[in-house]
Amino acid sequence: MNWKAWAAILAFVVALGFGIRQFYAGWSERPPAGFQFRERSSPTLDSKMRQRLKDLQREPLASLVVIQVGRYGQRDTVWSTEVFRNDGFDPMQHFERGTIGKATHLLGFYTLDGEPLNFTEKGQPHAPERTLLTVHIAEPLAAGATQLVLRVEQRISVVQKGKDGAYVVRAPGVDRRRAGWYVRAIETPDGQFQTWSATESDRQAPLAVTFRYP
């Protein structure tokens, strides 16, 4: 190979190295929009909501869902427990959750006592309309252990039209594969607050509330 070929190869390697360096320098200063991370803190709950969550719980708790119906034309707020499970061999403090779309606005994550949790939003380049979440719990979860965490989000209308101008909102039932108490609560704009609880073996119909917007 003559000196011209070697010179061409050297020039290519130098150019490639410079390009890679510029790419990583630009990445560190401003990652592409699809890869950007956003650290978030869940808002602090007021004492009334914390007490309500405490009053609703029963032991052993399998699932808790609270639906707060918004005023007409507004989003509804849904509180629902998710199971964080450490299937590894080492303590775990960070948990990946499902993605959220444009139809859902995430408010935050909380312990059952109402303590706010921090979480990270991570963009997905292949699906820019969705966001991957990593929730950070306060204390590492031991191997094989589980913990219930409340997820709070606003959704586009969870209600259905009923008869004679009324509306109906329904809470989910029980999961017979998981033992414990299933607690449901629905709050409507006309002042109703109804609760329901059952174990995995109960056969009662899920909670449904009929209401009218003020």
| Residue ranges with strand state E in the chain | 37-41, 61-68, 76-85, 92-100, 104-110, 116-123, 131-141, 146-155, 159-161, 167-170, 181-187, 193-199, 208-211
pTM, two decimal places: 0.81
Mean pLDDT over 98-107 rounds to 73
d(CA 84, CA 140): 11
56: left (phi over 0), alpha (psi -120 to 50) or beta: alpha
Stretch 156-170: mean pLDDT: 89
Please report the pLDDT score of residue 22 as a whole number.
44
How far is 53 from 51, CA to CA, in rounded Å?
5
Stretch 95-115: mean pLDDT, rounded?
84
Contact yes or no for 69/211 (Cβ under 8 A): yes
pLDDT for 9 equals 58
Name the 3-class secondary structure at 31. coil
**Stretch 52-77: mean pLDDT:** 95
pLDDT, the chain, mean:
85
Query: Can you tell me the mean pLDDT for 70-81?
Result: 93
**Buried-exposed string 18-49: b where 16+ CB fall within 10 A, e elsewhere:** eeeeeeeeeeeeeeeeeeeeeeeebeebeeeb
User: What is the mean pLDDT of the segment spanning 142-171?
Assistant: 92
Residue 171 has pLDDT above 90, yes or no: yes
